């Protein structure tokens, strides 16, 4: 017999719950702090490492929504994709879009299309790191 899922109920969440992690099943946990703040956590292992992905405050995210988010994260894991990496990728894309900037690779591609072969000076900024040629 498999492990039980949906162990928590909306009625359970209305009561005072002791601090700690409370399992709903399928990697979904309700994390209760000593100050009684509650948040949803999806716990999983990927490449031998334990990971925790926050799904939101229990005040803002309902039990049903948390279950749906955990289900989506489990689906991504079965496809071989790290759900935290997907979320971070989305956040980075959104930051770039809001800033109205483009990444280095895209900039280099545009430059080479406009000016032919890409020629870089001896010291230049690449992905936030200043690279300089070795001194002889």
Report percent pLDDT > 70 for the chain: 82
Q: Where are the alpha helices (DSSP H) in 35-79?
A: 63-78
7 vs 51, higher pLDDT: 51
What is the torsion angle, in degrees rounded to the nearest 10, for the CA atoms of residue 28, residue 34, residue 36 and residue 42? -10
Answer whether residue 39 shows pLDDT above 90: yes
Q: pLDDT averaged over the chain? A: 82
81 — alpha (psi -120 to 50), left (phi > 0) or beta?
Answer: beta
Rounded to whole angstroms, how far apart are CA atoms 105 and 39? 38
Residues 90-119: tens digit of each pLDDT:
888 888 788 777 777 777 778 777 877 655
Going by C-alpha positions, the residue among 53, 58, 57, 52 that lies closest to residue 15 is: 58
Going by C-alpha positions, the residue among 110, 106, 90 that lies closest to residue 98 is: 90
Answer whether residue 80 shows pLDDT above 70: yes
Fold of 10-81: Double Stranded RNA Binding Domain (3.30.160)
Note the pTM of the prediction, 2 decimals: 0.67
pLDDT band at 61 (very low <50, low <70, confident <90, very high): very high
């Amino acid at each position: 017999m498999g492990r039980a899922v949906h162990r928590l109920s909306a009625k359970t969440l209305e009561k005072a719950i002791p601090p700690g992690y409370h399992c709903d099943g399928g990697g979904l946990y309700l994390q209760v702090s000593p100050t009684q703040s509650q948040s949803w956590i999806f716990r999983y292992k990927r490449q031998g490492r334990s990971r925790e992905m926050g799904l939101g405050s229990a005040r803002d995210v309902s039990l049903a929504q948390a279950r749906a988010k955990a289900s989506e994260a489990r689906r991504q894991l079965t496809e071989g994709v790290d759900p935290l990496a997907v979320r971070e990728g989305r956040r980075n894309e959104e930051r770039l879009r809001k800033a109205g900037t483009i990444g280095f690779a895209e900039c280099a591609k545009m430059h080479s299309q406009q000016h032919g072969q890409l020629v870089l000076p001896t010291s230049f900024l690449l992905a936030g790191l200043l690279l300089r040629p070795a001194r002889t």
